[in-house]
Structure 1
Amino acid sequence: KMADRLHNMRTLGSMAPNKQYKIAGETLYIYAPLAHRLGLFEIKTELEDLSFKYEHPGEYERISRLISQSEAGREMVYNDFASPILKRLDAMGLDYEAKARLKSVYSIWRKMDTKHIPFEEVYDLYAMRIIFDVPEGVSEKEMCFKIYSALTDLYRPHPDRTRDWITNPKANGYQALHVTLMGPDGNWIEVQIRSRRMDEIAEKGFAAHWKYKIGEHEEESELNVWLKTIKDILDDPTPNAIDFLDTLKLNLFATEIVVFTPKGELLTLPAGATVLDVAFTLHSQLGMRCIAGKVNHKLVPLSHRLNSGDQVEVLTSHSQSPKPEWMNFLATAKAKTRLRKELRRVQQPVIEEGKKIFDDFMVQNDIIVNNSVMTKILGTYHVSTREELFYKLGSGEVSIDDYLNVNTSRGARSLVSRLFRLGFGGDNKKTKVKKLLTTPEEPSEKQAEKPKINTKETYVLRFNEQESNFAFAECCRPIPGDEVMGFITDDGTVEVHSLTCPRAQVLKASYGPRILATKWDEISGSFLANIRIEGIDRHGILQELTRMISTALNIDIRSLNIAADKEVFTCDLGVLVASTHAVDELCKSILRIEGVRKADRVRAYE
């Protein structure tokens, strides 16, 4: 499947734009993280770069061009850094290979986008990789630390950036010793030290283990643990496809932490894991009975988030029972799956009772329930699933008479009247209800006028004071000029999302046929953009800033929040602009003010 997806991405240029968004979105959402989790580093990097190329073609070309232009200077810096290292390794009599590993285009862009920095400030464009053949009679680990010792004799290591992935391999089997050194040009450069075996496993993943017939590896058992978790989720009798993907992703791309049990057993968990995650990792029953924990011998609640190196003891009680709110502070897929199963088991009798109440009422009132009616009923009760509705009915949290009583007196509000905006009274209520619930609604005049959207064509976005053929998504609030995509909502409206919006990634992976390629056309109006400004504080800088924005640039300020901490200030500014071009010009003008060091647009989801 992974090879098929890689081939699809390599030939994506022949597809329609909306298909490109759909497939690239799916790839970034699930296939690239899955390749990463299986240790298929080469495939993961290519999938990410190809997805980025089709979603942001302009940025891809720009960053590729900048990498190419800076190659000569980068090579000179690398040679200055590497020459003393190569001499030392030669003197040690090692059989080795040393090379510079360039950061991928996608990784560079991610760093620029999340940290709001230009290309020139991405200092870790490359890392040095040393791959050695293990000499006779010396262990891999011993050889790695001999090389480490030689490197730190030549350059100063960063005190907090040494990573020993040999003693504690990553969950995807990755092993190496990383050290970050201060180069001769004053920039930090990471050096990755690996044996030939470690390098093959890092590049080719778990499949490379078959080449090395040296018995069961700890990292292989890590894979088995993860696969058992996936099997647990798939064994769920009523799996929801989107829930499954979200749960799966919990353990795909998460940064890992390492914690210890009181007996010194090592546990690898995703960052953000809690005491409760540890309990479920050790045993499902420990998770169900967990009441608190001891972290480094101090009592903490079961929602306490752990740090790498913590020693964790789980405290339990026979009177404890699992709570639905626990789902909010679990970070591991195993824990979420086990808790969901247990809650469903406990709630099942109540759900059955609620279903009986619901079905009896429908039979008594001669109402036939189809999917569209059920969707409207769920919306009325503000629940997302039938099980949730039945549980509320069965537990008495809500009553069916609250909304569903069709036999109400004249003028009373019922579920049907709420759904179809129709008051009931007079005779033949039952027939009218049945008819309304079992036949599709006649489209209103406004609905009938809605033109059918061709998803294969690029959708042209138009917006002015009189009308608009789309709606801005609240989750990311893009503005004209942003790279955006369209999503056709249930009522046929085109909702426009920024391509970098986290919600857009989910939509591309989950609702591919409803994705639209878009382009901006006739847009007139003012749109809210948020700018973050940082700099050195001085007397009068706020007055100068507001005067320049309002008077010199004639831009309306909608919000302003400024705070100074000793000599440094931060300002969050909300302004009304016509497009991204206006934002770029505004940031350039702000940077000309004495003392301002940084001015960048901040997205709604950041």
Structure 2
Amino acid sequence: MDNKLNDFKASITKYLSKKEVASLMTVFDFSNEAHKGQLRSSGQPFISHPLEVAFIVAELEQDYETIAAALLHDTVEDSDVSTEDVASKFGQKIAELVNGVSKIGQLSFDSKEEQQAENYRKMIVAMAKDIRVIIVKLADRTHNMRTLKHLPKQKQLRIAQETRDIYAPLANRLGMATLKWELEDLCFYYLEYDEFQKIKKMVVSKRKERESYIKTLVKSVEKLLVEASIDAQIFGRPKHFYSIYKKLSSQAINFDQLFDMLGIRILVESVRDCYVILGLLHSTYKPVHGRFKDYIAVPKSNMYQSLHTTVLALDGKPVEMQIRTKDMDQIAEFGVAAHWTYKEGQKSSDAKDEFTWLRQMVDLQKEKSNSKDFLNDLKYDLFMDEVFTYTPKGDVIVMSAGATVIDFAYYIHTEIGHCCSGGKVNGQMVPINHVLENGDQVDILTSKNNKPHIDWLNFAASRQARSKIKAWFKRQSSDILIKKGEEKLSQIMLTIGYPLKEVLKNLDMSKVLDRFHVKDINALYLNIGQGELSSMQVGRHITKLMGLKDNTKVTPSKVIKPARTLKKSSQSAVTVFGQLGVLYTLAKCCKPLPGDDIEGIVTIEKGVSVHQSKCRNILNLSESTKERLVPVEWDSLQSEASFTATLQIEAFERIGILEDIISRISASNLNMVNLNSKILKGGTVMRMLVVVEVKNAEAIKILGAQIKQVSDVVSIKRV
């Protein structure tokens, strides 16, 4: 006990003033008196625990108030001391820190979901109020894990599981690698003891060989840097058991294949030296392709900065090199504890700004009314990896691994997300569900007619995007969505050939409701309106129940609906020299329609061939052929004539895209003659050729504008 107290005093004497050291000794005496007569499960005096916690905090070089709170953190909960007593004796700020740590200590994270979510909320709020609360709590949990062997087995497992689920990921998100590694390895020991021992045996069996190799390599690198007149500290980098276990499990490789089992760290004074050393290493040893990462230029969200590169070093063995400045190393090891400094009781604002993750989580807990959603989003955020992407202007956007274009859009702005129709990644058009990778430059495409689809939740990876999509749908009136669903089903039934009103009269709809697990017809419409059910799927089930023929034949390759016979009057829709009855044909190359500007050219067998004036076959006529041009006009009296027109549509491939387009055609009261579709090379864009009957060019123009409003439609043109 006396030895630990001496170690503690030596640790704080290194960087605190004599006055602060003396004050902390007074705090220790107060805590010792408060816990007098109390014992830990190990049989040691209770004061040994707050002293160990304070020592861990001191090793992180925290300020006087944080260390005082560590010494006092159990007094309010486990003794007769009150928060008021602490405030009276040591000041309000220390009392608030002690109170914050005590409250987090009372939270249970293995409780029922609702209570568990509420406890997470309280922890996030406490962290946001003063980050030092969680620094003390992490130190507290670290010492409790070190002494876990003195507790019953069941309690060991519960505490270890909670630590792995909550505190180790939290330490990682706050950049406190030193505590994170220790907590993970301790949890590994208790939760998967047999696997722990296997990994330990593998590591120990090759320790001498590994240490000898690293020692030789360090000397080789030292010589290289001395010759370059660079002052640096070089040492072997330890690998942690749980990290080894995770890599062996996830990558299906054996122990000898681990790239970064061998590693060294190089610490220098300047950023310039980091890059100079990188160049020296790459010119001396062969770099391994795809194993270089520049976290100096693009820091992680927990402020981690370093250069990582794997090279084939001595004997061709892969070795991971980490190169960073000494200041960067402090941040890498201690994270927020190193960065979150206090001057005269004021938080350093730059640290707070850099921890956008914490600020976003505070915002999230405010806006989430659903505890399950909040819980899932928080757990996802704690464990997520990151990818670094760029805006067209070169700004860095850090996204969670697995993030898609729609996540990027919502990160930029809520309305950008709502209107997102796709994106350009590294100059290539991609759909909104395209998964982003490190280094991608992302340019978001928007359409004012676009709005969120419920299926976006299937590929939106970030809690921010998912939250905003759900919020948008919650704001939509259920009445509007019910009406929308009814209209969609009605349109699809018309397309199939059986009006919905007739279906409702003649079919027992309870069979339909049972099939789609909804309580009534309005719930069915609501599900269709929200996008949770496909109207095409419901329509097909209805036709099956009625024993009717489904005329749509919707498949990925073809959709056909029998066409009406074209009216003969269409053969007299054009006048030549102002006269009806002259033999003519409508050119297949440009398929003119009433309302188009047209030109006629006399042919040998087909009379006058009628083209659009802008047809390239007309524009490219030779001078001699132009002599065969004759004046032609549309006959304004032939209003009942029907013509076929073709639209070429390109859209991002998604569930329901054909259905949405067919619904627009059906709503236009035009007869669809044919619809062919195919997936273009790359697998993300679908091209459709839609043939419809129209009276004139204006009708096809209006239809095109309607289809253009369908989400994920990229382009549309008449062909």
Q: TM-score range by the shorter chain?
A: 0.5 to 0.7
Instruction: Give yes or no for the alignment of 1:32 onto 2:168.
Output: yes
For structure 1, list consecutive stretches of 5 or more residues without a partner in the other structure.
Answer: 135-139, 354-379, 399-606
Query: 1:220: how far off?
Result: 5.7
CA distance in 2, matches of 1:24, 1:223: 27
Give the 3 Å change call, closer, same or farther, for CA 58–342 of structure 1 in structure 2.
same
Q: Does the aligned pair in 1 maintain the 2:481–2:526 contact within 8 Å?
A: no
Query: 1:223: how far off?
Result: 1.3
Instruction: Give yes or no for the alignment of 1:81 onto 2:252.
Output: no
Higher helix residue share = 2
- Code of the residue aligned with 1:331 in structure 2: it is A
CA distance in 2, matches of 1:392, 1:199: 61
The 5-angstrom pairing of residues 507-546 of structure 1 reads none
Q: 2:424 aligns with which of 294, 308, 317?
A: 294
Give the 3 Å change call, closer, same or farther, for CA 351–21 of structure 1 in structure 2.
farther
Give the 3 Å change call, closer, same or farther, for CA 392–37 of structure 1 in structure 2.
farther
Query: 1:186: how far off?
Result: 1.9
Q: 2:263 aligns with which of 127, 134, 137?
A: 127
Q: Does the aligned pair in 2 maintain the 1:292–1:314 contact within 8 Å?
A: yes
CA distance in 1, matches of 2:263, 2:350: 27
1:60 aligns to what? 196
- TM-score (ref. length: structure 2): 0.46
1:557 aligns to what? none
What SS does the aligned partner of 1:299 have?
strand
CA distance in 2, matches of 1:91, 1:212: 41
Query: 1:305: how far off?
Result: 1.3
1:346-402: CA deviation from partner (whole Å, max 9, x where unpaired): 25778999xxxxxxxxxxxxxxxxxxxxxxxxxx9999xxxx99997496559xxxx
Give the 3 Å change call, closer, same or farther, for CA 97–107 of structure 1 in structure 2.
same
1:280-324: CA deviation from partner (whole Å, max 9, x where unpaired): 000011111212222223322211112222222212223322222
Greater shift in the superposed pair: 146-155 or 100-109: 146-155
The 5-angstrom pairing of residues 121-200 of structure 1 reads 121-132=257-268, 134=269, 140-200=270-330
Instruction: Give yes or no for the alignment of 1:11 onto 2:11.
Output: no
Q: 1:320 aligns with which of 434, 443, 450?
A: 450
2:407 aligns to what? 277
CA distance in 2, matches of 1:277, 1:9: 38
Q: Does the aligned pair in 1 maintain the 2:267–2:325 contact within 8 Å?
A: yes
Give the 3 Å change call, closer, same or farther, for CA 247–73 of structure 1 in structure 2.
same
CA distance in 2, matches of 1:199, 1:325: 44
Query: 1:161: how far off?
Result: 1.5
What SS does the aligned partner of 1:235 have?
helix
2:473 aligns to what? 343
Q: 1:221 aligns with which of 336, 353, 363?
A: 353
Give the 3 Å change call, closer, same or farther, for CA 117–179 of structure 1 in structure 2.
closer
CA distance in 2, matches of 1:276, 1:303: 7
Query: 1:42: how far off?
Result: 0.9
- TM-score (ref. length: structure 1): 0.54
2:436 aligns to what? 306
Q: Does the aligned pair in 1 maintain the 2:377–2:463 contact within 8 Å?
A: yes
Q: Does the aligned pair in 2 maintain the 1:38–1:205 contact within 8 Å?
A: yes
- Code of the residue aligned with 2:425 in structure 1: it is V
Query: 1:256: how far off?
Result: 1.9
Instruction: Give yes or no for the alignment of 1:106 onto 2:242.
Output: yes
CA distance in 1, matches of 2:410, 2:318: 40
For structure 2, list consecutive stretches of 5 or more residues without a partner in the other structure.
Answer: 1-136, 484-513, 529-719
CA distance in 2, matches of 1:321, 1:391: 25
Q: Does the aligned pair in 1 maintain the 2:148–2:156 contact within 8 Å?
A: yes
Give the 3 Å change call, closer, same or farther, for CA 218–332 of structure 1 in structure 2.
farther
Give the 3 Å change call, closer, same or farther, for CA 218–280 of structure 1 in structure 2.
farther
Q: Does the aligned pair in 2 maintain the 1:84–1:154 contact within 8 Å?
A: no
Give the 3 Å change call, closer, same or farther, for CA 219–381 of structure 1 in structure 2.
farther
CA distance in 1, matches of 2:150, 2:157: 13
The 5-angstrom pairing of residues 160-559 of structure 1 reads 160-210=290-340, 221-224=353-356, 226-240=357-371, 242-346=372-476, 393=523
1:420 aligns to what? none
CA distance in 1, matches of 2:147, 2:482: 50
Give the 3 Å change call, closer, same or farther, for CA 352–11 of structure 1 in structure 2.
farther
CA distance in 2, matches of 1:121, 1:277: 35
What SS does the aligned partner of 2:335 have?
helix
Q: Does the aligned pair in 1 maintain the 2:403–2:461 contact within 8 Å?
A: yes
Q: Does the aligned pair in 1 maintain the 2:234–2:267 contact within 8 Å?
A: yes
2:183 aligns to what? 47
Give the 3 Å change call, closer, same or farther, for CA 81–314 of structure 1 in structure 2.
same
What SS does the aligned partner of 1:252 have?
helix
2:205 aligns to what? 69
Structure ranking higher on relative contact order (CA contacts 8 Å, 6+ apart) = 1
What SS does the aligned partner of 2:220 have?
helix
1:446 aligns to what? none
CA distance in 2, matches of 1:245, 1:4: 24
CA distance in 2, matches of 1:352, 1:23: 48
What SS does the aligned partner of 1:62 have?
helix
Query: 1:123: how far off?
Result: 4.7
Give the 3 Å change call, closer, same or farther, for CA 245–390 of structure 1 in structure 2.
farther
Which 4+ runs in 1 deviate beyond 6 A? 215-219, 348-353, 380-383, 388-392
Identity of aligned residues (%): 37
* RMSD between aligned residues: 3.2
Q: Does the aligned pair in 1 maintain the 2:478–2:526 contact within 8 Å?
A: no
1:561-583: CA deviation from partner (whole Å, max 9, x where unpaired): xxxxxxxxxxxxxxxxxxxxxxx
CA distance in 1, matches of 2:217, 2:448: 61
Work out which of the two has the higher radius of gyration on C-alpha atoms and give 1 or 2. Answer: 2
CA distance in 1, matches of 2:149, 2:515: 45
What SS does the aligned partner of 2:308 have?
strand
What SS does the aligned partner of 1:124 have?
helix
